Each structure stands twice: as structure tokens, then as C-alpha cells.
Chain A
Amino acid sequence: MSFFTEFPVMERESLRDLKKAIDSTFRDFTRENGELIEALFDPLKDFLLWFQKILLATPWPIMILIFCGLAWLGSRSWKMVVGTAIAFLLIGYFDMWEDTMVTTAMVSVATVLCIAIGIPVGVAMARSDRIQAVITPILDIMQTIPSFVYLIPVVMLLGIGKAPALIAVMIYAIPPIVRLTNLGIRLVQADVLEAADSFGASYRQRLFGVQIPLALPNIFAGVNQTIMMALAMVVIAALIGGSGLGTPVLRAVNNQYLALGVFNGMAIVALAIIFDRVSQAYGKRLQKHREGGHGV
């Protein structure tokens, strides 16, 4: 009767062998291809470092002006602009300027890459049910698997540094932009598409003239979520060489420095609020045409 009380587990020996086999196979693969793969990601790292250097090299008053300018372009609200200025002044005053610039660079580059990869993937998913069926479970895995689990192979392949940190952030942050691009395009009203067809629109004219513009509010919600998730990964990314605001947070955890942890944590929160409000306000302005005297 032990069958019912004890789970029939795999033999201890075989289980160990299985794990060993997987580990050694992957290790061999890393040993053989590690350098090649690292070289593959070098341009990514160089791009990130280049952008980071620009942010750090620009004098802080100019940077604050640029941030305020972007906040104005995005939200057209003076409150946002003033809030942005105060947040960055405080960050600088509490000596977190450099870490903040490093984190901003990481989040911006990750977001841009997520958009560049995520939107085309979302478009492909919207175009074909089969592609959707393949990609959806991959996205589910990316969103639910604990990030520490995929840190292991990433670190094995690429070591500790900027590139693996960026990749870890992207794995975590890319699903929303893919999902919402797909959803947004699928939600475009069939009658408008039929009208485009009836006037002889080609696939590209349909996509760029009708589907993407009408999906933009959703796509923009995806961009917003992608930014938020990239920011949420800042501390974990610091574990594998992401540096920036996450590093002092980790140090604070290890040494029980309450103030250090709270200050840097607040800086991350400030960045999140600014990115979120500005991108949401921009997303709303994209939908201006939907407002009208007659509902819709």
C-alpha cells in the first residue's frame, strides 16, 4: 500500500544523473560557444555604455532641463514638469545622481529594445493564429518563471556584467508590449478594415494606415507596462552587474543600512512615477480623436 502514501519518485541515482547530464551539457555548450555569444551581445553592451556615458557626461542642470522638456512633451502639464524638476533636484542633493543616470540608461535602452522587438512580434501574432498559439505560452513562461531561475543560464553564458543584466531586464519586461500590440491589433473594428480592403489597401497600407494607428492606445499601455517592469527589475539586475540604484539597495540589505535602502528605493519610486505619468498622459493624448460630441 506504500504506493498511495509515498509518491513513486524517480530513483535517486538516475535523478542525480539526469541533473548532472543537463548541467554538463549546458556547461559544455557554454564553454564552446560562450565567447561567440558574448561577442554577439557586445554591440548591445557598447550601446548601453555609450548612452550611459552621455547621460553622465552631460552637466546636471542640462539633464534636468532635458527631463523637464520630455515631461512637457509627453504630458503637456506644468505640474508634471515641476514635479520632475523637484524629484531630480532631490535625487542629486542626496548624492544619488550617478546611480540614477545609470539606472535611467538601463531602463531606457531596455525599453527601446523591447519596443523594437516586441511590436513586430505582436504584429506577427495578430496576423496568424498559429504564431499566437506558439508565442503565448512562451510569454506566459517569461512572466511567471521566477527571475532568479533565468538568471542562472544567462550568467553561465555571459558572466556578470551589463549585457546579462540588460537581457534579464528585457526577458522580464518584453511580454506586455508583445501582448498588448497583439491585442490592440486584434481589437481593431472589422468594419474599418473592410472599408480599407474595399478601397484596395495593400497589407502594408492596412497595417500602418489602419491597424497600428487604431491599436496605438493599447500599444502605448504596453509600453507603459514595459517601462514599469524594467524599473522593477533594477535591483535584481544589480545582482548580476547591472549597477545603478539597485547596487546600494543590495548593499543596504546586506548590512542593514535602513536610510541608504530607503533613499535609493525612493529614487526608484520617483523614476517610476515620472515615467508612468508622462507615458500615460502621452497615451491619452493619442486618443484625442475618440472624444467627440456624439459618444463612440
Chain B
Amino acid sequence: MSDEQMKVQIKNLYKIFGSNPKAMVEKVQGGMGKPELLEKHGHVLGLKDINLDIPARKVQVIMGLSGSGKSTLIRHINRLIEPTAGEMIVDGEDVLSMNDNDLREFRRKKASMVFQKFALLPHRTVAENAAYGLTIQNIPTSEAMSRSQKWIDRVGLSGFENHYPAQLSGGMQQRVGLARALATDAEILLMDEAFSALDPLIRTDMQNVMLDLQEELHKTIIFITHDLDEALRIGDNIAILRDGSMVQEGSPQQIVLDPADDYVSDFIKDINRGRVLEVGSVMHAKPPAKGPELEASTVLEEAMQVLVSSKIKEAIVVRDGKKVGGLSMEDCVKAMARTQGRSEGSSAYT
């Protein structure tokens, strides 16, 4: 993809916490790791040489264990955190060179954020919270209210406009958080573990709300999670962080089929591969002459059902109406079997 289609470009981004972070960049570039940097120099390595291009109108998931730097990374996009070194380009514009005014304008119009702990204003009602981003832009209250009302309705909170956040359940509070972020019509949505504080049923609920909205709005969403099921469900692309470095980046299919190392393998070891892997990414090249037809985007679980109940044990894989490959039961079984990652053997990655 060319640069033009990239909404957010992160280049050689470093973040080091401590009293003299600039001086530490060289040490990190020289290969010093997070524990050593902390022990020898008392600085915390937040992010190390992050390069990531995020395409427009897609959902980019960022994953990693606790402390791997996810929150730090997402806060660089709207510059809530200043990097120690590196570049942050959004829509071709350098966020780091913006002055205070430009930056405020950028945060008001370009990128809005949803927080793990909701971070609603406790002294304002649901309606006022949803309209917050608009009132910050000095839009008159009545207009702000009517514009945000649409989003309150969309996230299913009609009737709760005059409640205070403390009177709502966690799931409902995060709906307010989502409405508040959507109300400014920003093209970029930054979601830092937005659903992590919710229990599983409510979480699935919220994922559905978000996916429905995305189908219609096509925002550029940067979504942080440490839950792989969530990542696979909503991500068009997944980047995996570990101790501040990016260890792998790619489509969900790539990550499940070809984990870069044991850290990533560990992440994906418990998922139901049959429900994630698609026929298109496990087929062999030559389609058979005859057989049942399968869309390339069919998941393996369904494909295997088709193969089992069909007389011919090899299927024709079709993408955009063209025959692109063949799929046998053996392909399926191979793909379903767990791979151990590229670095075979020991799983002592820590």
C-alpha cells in the first residue's frame, strides 16, 4: 500500500521513562534490554523502535501482556505522551511538530479516545458527557446536545440521558464513553482496553455494537486488548508488543498460522483454530476438477463439515467468483494442529 492510504504512520518510535531519557536511546539502540536498562541506569524502557503503518478505515489491534507498552503506544498517537525519539505522522501531518493550538484542534477533530476505566465526568449527566467533546469545541449547548443525542440512541442509552455515571452499570458507562468519542465525528478512534473492564457477556455485546457501527462508519480504529479472542474477532490487523518492542504484525490469519516466536505462540495456543483460520489461508494451489465449492473466507470448521458430508473429499476454493485453489481434509487437519512457532523447541522466551 502507498503512503497515502496510511492513516497513521509510526516511525522508529522510542519512549524511555526516567530522568535523562534522551541519553538512554543510544544504549537501547545498542541492544540493551528492558531489565538491564532498569537495573544499570534506573530508566524504564516503554517503547523500543516501533514501526507501524495503520491503514485508513480498518481496525488495527495492538496486543501484549500487561506492561508491554500498549497504553504508552496508543497515547503517542494523540500525543498525550511525548516520545523520546521517533516520528508520528497522521494523515501526512507530523503530530510531534504541532504547536499547542494545532494539537488541541487535532484532538478535538481528528482523534477521539475511549478509556479502559471509562473516565467519564462524574458531575455531568449522560447527555452532558456524550456532548463533552462538542462543548469543548465551543459548540452551543443546544446544538451539542442534539448532535450527541443521535449517538446516545445508537449505543442504546435512550432514556438514560439525565442519569449520572455513578448510577449506571459498567457496560452502560462504557456506552457513554463510546458515544462521547463518536459524537465528535473524529476519523480516528483510539480505544485503550475499552472493553476489558466488562464481564464476558457485556463485552461481546459491546464488540457487536462496535462492529455494527464500524460497518457503517468505517473509522480508523486503534484497539488495544490483551484478549486474543477479542483481537481476532474485531481486528483487520494485529500488532503484538512485548517489553516495549513489536514482535509481530500482520493479519489474524498470518499470526495464527505463522507466529513469529514463542511469545506469540503462547498467545495463540488456546484459541479455537477451526473458528479462526480461513480456507483461503490454508488451501493448496491446484483446484480439483470436481468437488464442492467453498468461499475463501469460510472458516475451517464449516469447511470440514462440508468435506465430511460431501462425496468428493476435495473442495474447490473460490474467491471473487474465481477458482483459486483446492482444499482437502488433510490440509484442514494440518492447519488445525498446533504449530510450535518458528523457533522450535524451548518455550523459555522470558
Q: Taking beta carbons and an 8 Å cutoff, which residues of A are in contact with B?
A: 189, 191-192, 194-202, 205, 209-210, 213-214, 289-296
Contacts and interface: CB of A to CB of B under 8 A. Distances in A.
A150 B168 CA distance: 53
Contacts of A295: 166
A197 B100 CA distance: 12
A291 B166 contact: yes
Chain B CB count within 10 A is highest, among A194, A214, A294, for: A294
B150 interface: no
Given A195-B115, A195-B119, A294-B166, A205 B107 contact: no
A296 B113 contact: no
Given A196-B136, A199-B132, A292-B167, 16 more contacts: A189-B119, A194-B119, A197-B80, A198-B107, A198-B113, A199-B180, A199-B184, A200-B106, A200-B136, A201-B104, A202-B104, A290-B122, A290-B166, A291-B166, A292-B165, A293-B167
Nearest to B108: A200
A294 B80 CA distance: 30
Interface in B36-80: 78, 80
Given A195-B115, A200-B105, A200-B106, A213 B123 contact: yes
B17 interface: no
A289 to B, nearest CB: 4
Contacts of A195: 113, 115, 119-121
B34 interface: no
Closest 3 CB pairs of A and B: A292-B166, A200-B107, A200-B108
Contacts of A290: 122, 166
Given A210-B121, A296-B122, A199 B166 contact: no
B123 A198 contact: no
Nearest to B134: A199
A192 B132 contact: no
Contacts of A198: 78, 80, 107, 112-113, 190
- Which of A189, A205, A289 has the largest count of B CB atoms less than 10 A from its CB? A289
A204 B149 CA distance: 26
B35 to A, nearest CB: 27
Contacts of A209: 121, 135-136
A289 B104 contact: no
Contacts of A289: 122-123, 164, 166
Interface of B: 78, 80, 103-108, 112-113, 115, 117, 119-123, 132-133, 135-137, 164-170, 180, 184, 190
A294 B119 contact: no
A293 B123 CA distance: 15
Nearest to A290: B166
Contacts of B170: 294
Contact of B136 (A205, A293, A294, A296): A205
A291 B167 CA distance: 7
B115 A199 contact: no
A294 B170 CA distance: 9
Contacts of A210: 121
A194 B115 contact: yes
A289 B126 CA distance: 12
A184 to B, nearest CB: 13
Nearest to B104: A200
Contacts of B104: 200-202
Nearest to B133: A199
A294 B112 contact: no
A117 to B, nearest CB: 25
A191 B117 contact: yes
Given A199-B108, A202-B104, A192 B164 contact: no
Contact of A201 (B105, B136, B164, B169): B136
A200 B34 CA distance: 33
Contacts of B112: 198-199
Nearest to A201: B136
B255 to A, nearest CB: 29
Nearest to B103: A200
A247 to B, nearest CB: 44
A189 B123 CA distance: 13
A197 B106 CA distance: 11
Contact of A214 (B107, B123, B167): B123
Contacts of B167: 292-294
B328 to A, nearest CB: 51
A205 to B, nearest CB: 6
Contacts of B108: 199-200
7 contacts: A191-B117, A198-B112, A199-B112, A199-B180, A200-B105, A214-B122, A292-B167
Nearest to A216: B123
A152 to B, nearest CB: 45
